[in-house]
Amino acid sequence: MTTQPVVKRLALASRLENIPPYPFVARAERIRELKAGGHDVIRLDIGNPDLPPHPAVIEALYNSAQNPANHGYGGYAGKPALRRAFADYYARRFGVSLDPEREVLPLIGSKEGLINIGLALLNPGDVVLVPDPAYLTYSRGALLAEAEPYRVPLVPERNFMPDLESIPPEVLARARLLWINYPNNPTGAVASKDELAGIVDFCREHDILLCSDNPYADVTFDGVRAHSVLEVPGAKEIAVEFNSLSKTYNMAGWRVGVCVGNAEMVNALLRIKSNVDSGLFLAIQDAACVALNEVGKDWIAGRNAIYQRRRDILMEALPRLGLSATPPQAALYVWARVDGGDDVAYSEEALEEAHVSVTPGRIYGPAGRGYVRLSLVIGETRMREAIRRLSEWYTQRGG
């Protein structure tokens, strides 16, 4: 008699079962289905820059890729020239001095760093203080590290600054990490240097690592200047900052980011990364150096003027769309309150009936209920077409 082998059911790890699917994946699949059905869908839901990088950056990629020596591994910590380019950028842009060898770590896009810093720092049961609303990766990174996200509401009455004094003492006792993100996604708020200094003081008092996510520092409007948390004296004692070329230089698909700041934490992140990936493609590193070293303020200002004009077109139209908002000072989004308050119904009906995709605010946390996020990353012609469709749909809806 032959004994049949026992086949065990394959089960997911508990950490994965605790993490819902990334909502933009489901949205992209529905958009794909609508397009397959012959519908033209306009996407205002994602922050994917539509404008190209500076021509010199593209040329540098091409030239570097022609070199046969540049197709091997790129190095776990990146090329010295790239680390120096990031350090020089911080010195030039923020007046912050960084040691390229100890305080700068290039990343394969900042998103992987946002996840991996939690794996380097957190233990099961630790608390991560996460703004609400916020980019999903902050809370998802906590869950992957088997820590607990605690949401700190950002409200318009406080200019979307966190009320850190409202955090219960028992939560603070377990808190290891605080996330901030200014200029802010999704609200567009910008923090003053004094506000950042207050957050640094709070983290120092409570022995919490401050993680600043700062990819929109160079996407600002109306003459606003955004800051780095590392401008605050002594911030490197308790802080790291993540940055990216995605938004500053229109290089989202190139996946070039950086972690800078506290040397101990930068090294801990490198220990995780060196066990997970093998670094950036060398030709991309060379092109990133050109972006950081050679693309100047005038190019960035011209690009921001395009975004600002799109913002103004959208802001003028909001009342006709059943929405209201304060003009954002920075970033790529308009954070708009929905008349009637149902952000999910608004976004779903807009997609299905007007074929315009906007993001429901509750994706970013409970404080996002009643809002939708609209991106500024489509040209004026398509933006006006999206407005026309949404206006007609909202009128027919009885708005």
CATH number at residue 41: 3.90.1150.10
Domain final residue, candidates 294, 324, 355: 294
Tell me what pLDDT residue 15 has: 80
Six-digit token pair at 324? 């209201």
CA 136 to chain centre: 9
Q: What is the pLDDT of residues 220-238, one digit of tens each?
A: 999 999 999 999 999 999 9
The answer on 231 and 87 residing in a single domain is yes
The domain that holds 275 is classified in CATH as 3.40.640.10
Q: Identity (one letter) of the amino acid at 85?
A: A
Angle, in degrees to the nearest 10, between helices 137-144 and 110-121: 40
The answer on 310 and 164 residing in a single domain is no
The answer on 91 and 21 residing in a single domain is no
Tell me what pLDDT residue 6 has: 61
Tell me what pLDDT residue 356 has: 97
Report how far residue 185's alpha carbon sits from residue 335's, in angstroms, rounded to the nearest whole number: 9
CA 11 to chain centre: 31
Tell me what pLDDT residue 21 has: 82
The structural domain count of the chain equals 2
The answer on 256 and 364 residing in a single domain is no
Tell me what pLDDT residue 3 has: 63
The answer on 227 and 136 residing in a single domain is yes
**Residue span of the structural domain in which 365 resides:** 14-52+298-397
The answer on 258 and 303 residing in a single domain is no
Tell me what pLDDT residue 26 has: 85
The answer on 191 and 168 residing in a single domain is yes
Tell me what pLDDT residue 2 has: 60
Report how far residue 386's alpha carbon sits from residue 314's, in angstroms, rounded to the nearest whole number: 10
The answer on 329 and 266 residing in a single domain is no
Tell me what pLDDT residue 80 has: 97
Q: Is residue 277 included in any domain, yes or no? A: yes
Biggest alpha carbon–alpha carbon distance for the chain: 83
The answer on 43 and 118 residing in a single domain is no
Q: Is residue 181 included in any domain, yes or no? A: yes
Q: What are phi and psi of 75, to 5 degrees?
A: 95, 135
The answer on 25 and 83 residing in a single domain is no
Is residue 286 a contact partner of residue 61, using CB atoms and an 8 Å limit? yes
Report how far residue 351's alpha carbon sits from residue 373's, in angstroms, rounded to the nearest whole number: 14
- pLDDT beneath 50, residues of the chain: none
Residue 395: CA count within 13 A, CB half-sphere = 7
